[in-house]
Structure 1
């Protein structure tokens, strides 16, 4: 073979993102004669993009050593950055730290080297991982100063990404998003290496999702999908993490079969030796899809896998406990999760589930549910993201409906539905539609209730949301099928109505206020499609909810 020609082919394959060809060609050339350090670095990138992470680590070590021995400090530090990240992806944190220390010693021999900034990026990431936002921001600002003049495109984009994430972590959301957008401009210009492009996509989309900035996340996710489609051989750890983010957005957008397929691929890629530290996120997304589709056994196992990979399975696991009738376990789990979480945006992920679970417990936890909904509204006011506003309006409307304040609930619920439709999130829009239907029914507008519930049922059936579709079926079916939707407290009330108790007597027997009893009676009438206490009593006797007194 002509060695120079073969190496040239390998370089062209890297530029064309033909990773399999690049790897094979450079491997053949390297077997004939050792590659130069710059080509070893390209060889490492091809290995990384193919998911051959052990090979990538070995090649990056080799490139670092060759550069350092040749006095090319900047190039060596660049290799050190990707080497430390690759080791961390594989869970080799001690080795990653050792290589960072070695790189710092090398950087000290040439303190004016622009690529010393790569080490500051690593330092900022360590602060982020340790939950030290203030130290991260200080390091990111030093990074921004050290990275100028920005001759290295990867370093410039990585600096903007790191500063953006640091600002967001310190509550400076608008400024942080501006920096993240700056990093994405470099990605869009195709000025970066493939490994840097994948990293920035993952960080930016993940941050947007954390902030509930769904429009931004969806826009960048579509661009990521196109980029990935152009290089089908991209199967490394970053590809797995990219899939995790995409799964969440596919789920929100209603493409559940695609989301399930992507989630399974992400689980496979992230448990292949590198990426184990984020594999829990893939299993969590898979568990959520199983739960929503009514595949509860599969969901249970996926939540277990989530925990085994070091990720918290809440709020999904608590919602699974709720739908399977374990209300006490669900309530304990969501309370525990909230008690452990102080960061507002992370609490925002838990609070909608808390509202749903606490309302299911009945009157004794209604006030707690109302506080959770109000806290979510406060977070939405502070951050302003459309999805947060939708979540808050939905939670507050659901609480008002449970309290019997139907007139206050409807405007909130309609606003939530409008916002979810604007964001093209059909499942949540349909859930809001069910609440609107129940509100209409409570006001005696059965015709509107039927339209709302039927529309929601169609969405649930199209998505494959079996538990929600079944619930709506019960709400809209024959009266004989409806009593399972009565809450335990409503069953107690209807049994006492059947025994001829007045609201005052029921309140005394159940230790409730008369106002609360009146609300329960109104809800019962709506659910059973009756208009009088006599009709409710007849229903209770007909369906065996209470036995008729036997003459002595």
Structure 2
């Protein structure tokens, strides 16, 4: 097969998103003894194929060759395109100094070019992220507007979609969430119409879903996650964006309390991110994994996941603070959420902290601060209009009202939270809201209704395997917090201080066989595999 045939087949393979075939044929053509090497356009195709296969080193080598070829031929705008991608790829894997160097070189090359060339719009993308990094949100908004303007003048769909994403996210951080989401919807039009190149399409998909998750717009997040999954599945060899897709699937599965499946997605995402060197993204996946484990009551594993997130440079909050409360380290948790709230100003990121902060501050007996945090969350939820935020705000309002023993204020908020979470098909969150309903009606003297609400919540927690929440509900009903009998607790306490089965039998005047049966029951009820795990669980849950 000749070089011309290889190149033609490679280009066709790239168009049909067969990245492996495109890469293999371009590499073969490049290595032919009679070949003078790939041209600049084919080197760009080779670089994008390598990128989409997850081979970042080969991508960079192809981009460097393309850049040199454009420079040698005096094709400055083309060289700027290669420099733009070199900056973007290096920045993407955490090599900011190298990325900045390539961006600066591209800007120098454009110094002698006409003012209104589309390549200036691409370099503005780097300006945008520099503004974001130094906290200049006004500057970032202005740059986003300029990117959109350049893109529209030149009819460039990739640049337009990226500019709309930049603009939409900044509008959201400025508190204009409905308008920001509408701008992101406009960016998605180009993706849905197939107008965007693959890297920009994947970038816009993930930015849209990230934005939805940030404001708990679960309806949009779920719809676009399904679309992203289909897009990834249509490209079997695709590596980038599949980690983000796994995280987003995991987030939706977590909402619907499909915890084992969510854990698998987060673990898969972490492996994919780590393989590409995207450490902060891998940290996000580990933080999400920790949140699921914490909800399930696997506190030791949750802490390990949060530690892994930190090792990747990601602060797993407010999940870690909530875990500290669950393990009895309340004062440390209160200090952590106070710091987080002091550091976080924009309403989008603040909204992600406030619900956890309310729970921590209530646990720390700081009702005034909890009330203020709940009030802020209610204001943000009303402005943003997203159902998940409104449900979270109603839950927190009920929680602070119950702390003040104000049942009249707590009950309608708790019922609103239960209804909204149910409509979002979030059974764990809906059951938590039912617990608050039960507590509120009990304050009003209706014990029978309280027991009914708490029992329903307890049943849901048991079905979901959320041990800590189930135990809290059982405590409110009046059952043993562990589900263990008194004799089983006696056995567990003796195991905890190091007694063997025979020693326990002697101390409790039981047969060895009876002690063994009690231990089997303990393992089953606590859902643990061993004596050591049972003791660790008992210590974590104050059963000793």
TM-score (structure 1 length as normaliser):
0.82
Q: What is the DSSP-based 3-state SS (H/G/I as helix, E as strand, rest coil) of the residue aligned with 2:235? A: coil
Q: Structure 2 vs 1, CA of residues 478 and 436 (structure 1 numbering), >3 Å: closer, same or farther?
A: same
- Cα distance in 1 for partners of 2:156, 2:274 equals 32
Match for residue 86 of structure 1? 89
Match for residue 506 of structure 1? none
Q: Is the 8 A contact 1:358 1:368 kept in 2?
A: yes
1:415 is aligned to 2:416: yes
Match for residue 384 of structure 2? 383
- Cα distance in 2 for partners of 1:278, 1:344 equals 22
Q: Structure 2 vs 1, CA of residues 444 and 84 (structure 1 numbering), >3 Å: closer, same or farther?
A: same
Residues 318-360 of structure 1: per-residue CA shift (max 9 Å, x gap): 1111111222222222222222222222222222112212222
Q: Is the 8 A contact 1:89 1:276 kept in 2?
A: no
Q: How does 1:111-150 map to 2 (within 5 A)?
A: 111=114, 112-150=116-154
Match for residue 168 of structure 2? 164
Match for residue 466 of structure 2? 465
Residues 431-452 of structure 1: per-residue CA shift (max 9 Å, x gap): 1011112222333333322332
Q: Is the 8 A contact 2:87 2:99 kept in 1?
A: yes
- Cα distance in 1 for partners of 2:302, 2:106 equals 44
Q: How does 1:31-430 map to 2 (within 5 A)?
A: 31-32=31-32, 33=35, 34-111=37-114, 112-236=116-240, 238-362=241-365, 365-430=366-431
TM-score (structure 2 length as normaliser):
0.83
Q: Is the 8 A contact 1:287 1:303 kept in 2?
A: yes
Q: How does 1:528-543 map to 2 (within 5 A)?
A: none
Q: Structure 2 vs 1, CA of residues 256 and 73 (structure 1 numbering), >3 Å: closer, same or farther?
A: farther
1:458 shift after superposition = 3.3
Match for residue 17 of structure 1? 17
Q: Structure 2 vs 1, CA of residues 189 and 323 (structure 1 numbering), >3 Å: closer, same or farther?
A: same
- Cα distance in 2 for partners of 1:330, 1:312 equals 14
Residues 113-154 of structure 1: per-residue CA shift (max 9 Å, x gap): 222210011211221232211111111222222223333321
Segments of structure 2 that go 5 or more residues without pairing to the other structure are: 485-544
- Cα distance in 2 for partners of 1:259, 1:412 equals 29
- Cα distance in 1 for partners of 2:259, 2:163 equals 35
- Cα distance in 1 for partners of 2:75, 2:261 equals 46
Q: Is the 8 A contact 2:284 2:316 kept in 1?
A: no
1:431 is aligned to 2:432: yes
Segments of structure 1 that go 5 or more residues without pairing to the other structure are: 484-552
Q: Is the 8 A contact 1:74 1:116 kept in 2?
A: no
Q: What is the DSSP-based 3-state SS (H/G/I as helix, E as strand, rest coil) of the residue aligned with 2:328? A: coil
Match for residue 453 of structure 1? 454
- Cα distance in 2 for partners of 1:459, 1:79 equals 55
Residues 440-478 of structure 1: per-residue CA shift (max 9 Å, x gap): 233333332233223323332343322212322333354
Match for residue 544 of structure 1? none
1:481 shift after superposition = 7.4
1:264 shift after superposition = 0.8
Q: What is the DSSP-based 3-state SS (H/G/I as helix, E as strand, rest coil) of the residue aligned with 2:445? A: coil
